[in-house]
Amino acid sequence: MKLNVPAIADEQAQTRQQLLEAAGTVFAERGFRNTTVREICQRAGANIAAVNYHFGDKEKLYLEVFRYSREKELERFPSLRESAPLPPEKKLAVFVHSLLLRIFDTGEASWHGQLMLREMIEPTAALDFVVAEKIRPMSDHLRGLVAELLGGRATDERVRLCSFSVVSQCVFYCHCDPVIQRLDPEQTAADSSLEKLAEHITAFSLAGMKPFRAGKK
């Protein structure tokens, strides 16, 4: 009997992707420690041995989920490493809006942002990898923008603190959402609201950095 090698390869590739999607969803819902390989395989409709076959073990699958997530995010949303020749103020606006879109995504891929937030709250051995592969590139890009906005005489400490302040505003609206909804129910995560929120965070950040520009203290 002649094997259809291309068909087998396609089937294996499909199973691998189903495992990544299922694992991402379960990890985001339950966290790495509370997730079992059996649960992932059941969600993916795959054999219990599929994870070992395609990834080796649960830890390696977890790392691969983050790689997969980054690839998909770059396909879906504006790049956080915008290369167009825009003024720094506009680049900051693009960064903030893109970050909010990723954090508050409600589609089928909403687990991408949820998984990242869970890893920061409940860190695992994968955090070093996540920082190196996902967070540091974004951080370096943002710090470059902030340094450009502050001017050449800005200290590294000032650039770092201002960059953290920009990101903390974005993350606040996610981590504190249960409280925000009780205080201001009209604050939603709809695309139009996120655009307005991005405009506010950008304007607030630019105003906050203004006293530190041109060598001011």
Instruction: Say whether both 99 and 189 belong to one domain.
Output: yes
Cβ contact 36:22 at 8 Å: no
Which has the closest alpha carbon to 104: 121, 94, 86, 116? Answer: 116
Instruction: Say whether both 39 and 85 belong to one domain.
Output: no
Instruction: Say whether both 62 and 81 belong to one domain.
Output: no
193-197 long-range Cβ contacts below 8 angstroms, 24+ apart: 194/97, 194/100, 194/101, 194/104, 195/97, 197/100, 197/173
- Whether 57 maps to a domain, the answer reads yes
The reported pLDDT for the residue numbered 128 is 92
- Whether 71 maps to a domain, the answer reads no
DSSP character at residue 124 = -
Instruction: Say whether both 58 and 82 belong to one domain.
Output: no
Write out pLDDT tens, residues 126-151.
999 889 988 998 999 999 999 999 99
Instruction: Say whether both 111 and 30 belong to one domain.
Output: no
- Whether 139 maps to a domain, the answer reads yes
- Whether 72 maps to a domain, the answer reads no
- Whether 52 maps to a domain, the answer reads yes
Tell me: pLDDT of 2 over 60: no
Cβ contact 32:62 at 8 Å: yes
Instruction: Say whether both 12 and 113 belong to one domain.
Output: no
Instruction: Say whether both 116 and 204 belong to one domain.
Output: yes
CATH number at residue 111: 1.10.357.10
CATH number at residue 13: 1.10.10.60
Tell me: pLDDT of 3 over 50: no
Q: Which among 19, 40, 66 is the end of a domain?
A: 66
- Phi and psi (nearest 5°) for 58? -65, -40
Q: Which residue has the tokens 């495992």?
A: 19
Instruction: Say whether both 45 and 149 belong to one domain.
Output: no
State the residue range of the domain holding 165: 77-215
Write out pLDDT tens, residues 173-191.
888 888 988 898 877 766 6
- DSSP-based three-state secondary structure for 86: coil
Residues 59-64: what's their mean pLDDT? 95
Instruction: Say whether both 21 and 98 belong to one domain.
Output: no
Angle at 158 between CA 156 and CA 159, to 5 degrees: 65
Confidence class for position 114, pLDDT limits 50, 70, 90: confident
Which has the closest alpha carbon to 174: 114, 216, 131, 98? Answer: 114
Instruction: Say whether both 92 and 62 belong to one domain.
Output: no
How many CB atoms are closer than 10 A to CB 96?
26
Number of folded domains that form the chain? 2
Instruction: Say whether both 88 and 193 belong to one domain.
Output: yes
Write out pLDDT tens, residues 12-23.
889 999 999 999
- Whether 199 maps to a domain, the answer reads yes
Tell me: pLDDT of 83 over 70: no
- Whether 150 maps to a domain, the answer reads yes
Global pTM value:
0.81
Instruction: Say whether both 97 and 187 belong to one domain.
Output: yes
